[in-house]
Chains A and B, each alone.
Chain A
Amino acid sequence: MIRLKGINKTYKRPDEGPLQVLKNVDLTIDKGEYVAIVGPSGSGKSTLMNLLGLLDRPDSGEYELDGQAVSGLSAGALAKLRNTKIGFVFQQFHLLPRTSAVENVEIPLIYSNADNPEQRAIAALKRVGLGDRLKHYPEELSGGQQQRVAIARALVTNPDLILADEPTGNLDKVSGEDLMGLFQELNADGRTIVVITHDEKLAQRAKRVVRIDDGRVSEVRGHSKSSGATVVGEVA
């Protein structure tokens, strides 16, 4: 599904010198995996997420998504890939205010030519257990429900890959548990799931944990190449 090879990313900073955020990162994620990427803040997690999600480009290195090299693609082609292959879930949910759940979930379909956008949106909301909240505004939903709407939005184009950035970061304990259950269900359906998180419990639920520290990636557990016995408690 994902193959990163020799990825480097450096940010220019106006006051201080340039900051290299990703250092020669190699990472392969197979179809159907459930991967947690953990690491302290400033470790390069979010940058890695943006690169995986085609929101940003690396300075050097190769990225193959679903067998396709994406380095040379135009901005428009990247937008199309984001639309069809990737579903995003964010810490802040990023739902449009004063816009119903169905309308929020329909948004990715505005930019594709899918038939019956409303039915698809309703189906996605039913899939995440919000069949009875279709016309509710985000303001009328709990945090957990809002995040479910966001997941429905990520699912509505039926992508192979779900990228989640701290999805439980703004949720209480119970809602967080629910959400983790939902991710496991989606993974059981065959979707590839990549979650960036501080949340130990969420990381524990993943089949595989990858640690990123100071721009370098190391396997913690779960991948075929690693022992799988590493203690998750190391991850901060």
Chain B
Amino acid sequence: MNIKLLFAGSARMMVRYKMRTLFMAVGIVVGVAALIFMRAMGVGAEQAMMENINRTFSTATINVLAGGGHMGPRAGGPVTSLKLDDFEAIEAAVPGVVMWGVMQWVPSQDIRYQGTTRQMSVYGYSENPEPVWQRGLIAGEYFSAEDVESASRVAVIGTRAAEALFGSDDPIGKQIQVGSVPLRITGVLEPQGIDTHGADKDDEIHVPVTTLMRRIMNIDHLFGGRVIMDDPTKVEAAARQIVALMRERHSIAEGEPADVIAITPKLVQDMVSNFNRVLSRYLPAAAGVALLVAAIVIANIMLIAVKERVPEIGIRKAVGAESGQINFQFLTETVVVALTAGLIGAGLGIVGAVAYGAVGSTPMVVTAGSVLMGLGAALAVGIAAGFLPARQASLLDPVSALR
């Protein structure tokens, strides 16, 4: 069999029957393009989330949160058992702790400066929070150990909050009023934008945790804290040890749920990749439906084409085509259309994904794997859809076909 002539013939059939080819191709083009586009979206989302996680969590980090780490109101009130000295106990009991910091916060608090009042979040941290919480200053200085010890009336402020309260004036040295407590601004936080919960990290102030608890909130318990280990491999064991230690210190009976949760990077990554697995499975599944429809359309068109081409098949058999060669030839025609459509779809998908990623804020990552998957799907559709028509063509009896 002359393969070159065969492929040339298939290519000619595509060009000659333009409308038929168009209908056969359009489903595959759309399906493959959608598959690559959606996969790019899924991979982009996953990578962005992982980057975000890795930025907020160094791999040797354990976040210890009171209760389950609920940010909003909680049935039965907040868990009040987690205290400052719990973290001192953790440092003493758990080997490999490099440093730790604690945290409490108020979601929305009136902040006043002269005539201006603005609601913003107030966070309380231990001294020198930058290495623990990965948030530095662009001006001034953070509160010291002494400030925390004595619950000093000092604060550092986010850029947006500073602009709202002071306009273009230098915030450092300004006196603001948090509730009834006057605080002096000592520094300006580096801008960080919107976090994963949608909160504006530049519209908040940070104060010593003792100042927040004693002077502003009038409580003595923490929202949580962060423990940094010297070795990422120790993190999982340390997290279990911390929870056990807290159960012991807070006298939690066996069988009762713990009053703290220790969140490790692995736990977060598992949660995120679970979510992404859903994303990257169901989105391409939608593209799969398009490809399935394309396969049915192609099979139908080819079955009609075989009926139209009965005399042609008869003449091909008369001049010496074997059944297997006719079968192969019709299958080739379908596969050539499908693969060409697949290539066009892949091109559109890649260009679409890259363009969408460049214009919008959605991160798009086109992987070689998704392109191969798209082309493989096109090939599979071509073979699956061509199988039955090709078989029917090959089984035609030349005598009746030529009648």
Contact status of A90 and B402, CB under 8 A, knowing A107-B316, A112-B320: yes
CB of A83 within 8 Å of the partner chain: yes
A112 to B12, alpha carbons, bound, how many Å?
20
- In angstroms, how far is the closest chain B Cβ from the Cβ of A120? 11
Inside 8 A of A53's CB, which chain B residues have their CB?
Answer: 318
- In angstroms, how far is the closest chain B Cβ from the Cβ of A231? 33
Residues of chain B at interface, number, CB under 8 A: 25
- In angstroms, how far is the closest chain A Cβ from the Cβ of B295? 27
CB of B399 within 8 Å of the partner chain: yes
Stretch of B128-136, B253-261, B270-278, B322-330 at the chain-chain interface: B322-330
Bitwise, A88-112 to B at CB < 8 A (1) or not (0) is: 1010101010110001001111111
Bitwise, B4-20 to A at CB < 8 A (1) or not (0) is: 01100100100010000
CB of A75 within 8 Å of the partner chain: yes
Evaluate contact between A55 and B16: CB separation under 8 angstroms. Answer: no
Evaluate contact between B399 and A56: CB separation under 8 angstroms. Answer: yes
Evaluate contact between B321 and A75: CB separation under 8 angstroms. Answer: no
The binding surface of chain B is classed by DSSP as: helix
Which range contains the number of A residues in contact with the other chain? Answer: 20 to 34
CB of A146 within 8 Å of the partner chain: no
Bitwise, A106-122 to B at CB < 8 A (1) or not (0) is: 11111111100100000
Evaluate contact between A76 and B324: CB separation under 8 angstroms. Answer: yes
Evaluate contact between B324 and A108: CB separation under 8 angstroms. Answer: no
Contact status of A75 and B323, CB under 8 A, knowing A109-B5, A113-B2: yes
Evaluate contact between A82 and B2: CB separation under 8 angstroms. Answer: no
Inside 8 A of A75's CB, which chain B residues have their CB?
Answer: 322-323
A96 to B12, alpha carbons, bound, how many Å?
12
- In angstroms, how far is the closest chain B Cβ from the Cβ of A138? 12
A88 to B322, alpha carbons, bound, how many Å?
16
A146 to B398, alpha carbons, bound, how many Å?
21
Task: Name which residue of chain A comes closest to B309, CB basis.
Answer: A96
A155 to B264, alpha carbons, bound, how many Å?
81
Evaluate contact between B319 and A83: CB separation under 8 angstroms. Answer: yes
> Interface centre among B12, B317, B323, B402, by most A CB within 10 Å?
B402
CB of A50 within 8 Å of the partner chain: yes
Evaluate contact between B325 and A50: CB separation under 8 angstroms. Answer: no
CB of B237 within 8 Å of the partner chain: no
- In angstroms, how far is the closest chain B Cβ from the Cβ of A196? 13
Contact status of A111 and B318, CB under 8 A, knowing A55-B398, A94-B402: no
CB of B163 within 8 Å of the partner chain: no
The listed residue (B6, B16, B319, B399) touching A82 by CB distance below 8 A is B319
The listed residue (B312, B321, B398) touching A111 by CB distance below 8 A is B321
CB of B359 within 8 Å of the partner chain: no
A80 to B399, alpha carbons, bound, how many Å?
17
The listed residue (B317, B329, B399) touching A79 by CB distance below 8 A is B317
The listed residue (B1, B16, B402) touching A110 by CB distance below 8 A is B1
Inside 8 A of A103's CB, which chain B residues have their CB?
Answer: 9, 12
Task: Name which residue of chain B comes closest to A104, CB basis.
Answer: B315
A107 to B5, alpha carbons, bound, how many Å?
9
A37 to B320, alpha carbons, bound, how many Å?
24
A79 to B317, alpha carbons, bound, how many Å?
7
Inside 8 A of B316's CB, which chain A residues have their CB?
Answer: 107, 110-111
- In angstroms, how far is the closest chain B Cβ from the Cβ of A114? 7
Bitwise, A60-85 to B at CB < 8 A (1) or not (0) is: 00000000000000011001101110
- In angstroms, how far is the closest chain A Cβ from the Cβ of B331? 15
Contact status of A99 and B5, CB under 8 A, knowing A55-B398, A94-B315: no
Evaluate contact between B312 and A96: CB separation under 8 angstroms. Answer: yes
CB of B314 within 8 Å of the partner chain: yes
CB of B311 within 8 Å of the partner chain: yes
Quick one: which of B70-104 are within 8 Å of A by CB? none
Evaluate contact between A153 and B319: CB separation under 8 angstroms. Answer: yes
A83 to B398, alpha carbons, bound, how many Å?
14
Quick one: which of A209-230 are within 8 Å of B by CB? none
**6 cross-chain pairs, A with B, having the tightest CB-CB distances, nearest first:** A83-B320, A108-B319, A79-B322, A94-B315, A110-B5, A111-B321
Give 19 new A-B contacts, CB below 8 A, not counting A107-B316, A109-B5: A53-B318, A79-B317, A79-B323, A79-B325, A82-B319, A88-B315, A88-B319, A90-B315, A94-B314, A94-B315, A94-B402, A99-B16, A110-B1, A111-B1, A111-B325, A112-B2, A114-B2, A117-B2, A117-B5
A to B CB contacts below 8 Å, 17 in the list: A76-B323, A79-B321, A83-B319, A83-B321, A94-B311, A98-B16, A107-B315, A107-B319, A110-B5, A110-B9, A111-B2, A111-B316, A111-B321, A113-B2, A117-B5, A153-B319, A157-B319
